[in-house]
Amino acid sequence: MSTPEELQKKLWKVLDDERTVMLGIPGDKAGTPRPMTAQVEGDSGPVWFFAGRPNSLADLADGRPAQMVVVSKGHDLFATVNGSLQLHNDAATIERLWNPFIAAWFEGKDDPKLALLRFDPSDAEVWKNENNLLAGIKMLIGVDPKKDYADNQAHIDLR
């Protein structure tokens, strides 16, 4: 059994540890979700993404609603995070977030193709997935697995 607070903490830990998410702008074909590498600051964001131009997400990042989908590598956590996305090419922020993995994609911090995107989360739907093997065993012996999963989902306000 998980509380919303525990699920929120696990969400940020997964984001910090694994970093790969699907980021998109709902309802805009040009904003189709795509894999992006997230850099999280603090316990609740913002979440930063370096993108190379041309990139439709960078072109659409004007504060409009966006969505980030998170799946942990072990499939023990799933989340859909709503928020807003904006272009944020502030030199001090780029300097603070710059690392060798980002440097490999750009010709320096002032590369005109570099776009830094800021995702400000507002709320999330989070699902914790317990051990599938255990659920299978419980079903075999006649235990209803839905009861175990009832408290492993929450809608969380992230503001």
Question: What are the domain boundaries of the chain?
Answer: 4-157
Measured CA distances, 144 to 21, 130, 147, 150, 151 (Å):
32, 14, 6, 11, 14
- Alpha-helical segments (H) within 19-145: 56-60, 91-97, 100-103, 132-140
pTM summary value: 0.86
Give residue-wise pLDDT tens across range 50-81. Answer: 999 999 999 999 999 999 999 999 888 999 99
Q: Which CATH superfamily is domain 4-157 in?
A: Electron Transport, Fmn-binding Protein; Chain A (2.30.110.10)
Q: Which residues contact 138 (CB under 8 A, 6 or more apart)?
A: 144, 145, 148
Instruction: Dig out the tokens for 153 from the structure.
Output: 């989902």
Instruction: Dig out the tokens for 14 from the structure.
Output: 């997964």
Give residue-wise pLDDT tens across range 105-134. Answer: 999 999 999 999 999 999 999 998 866 666
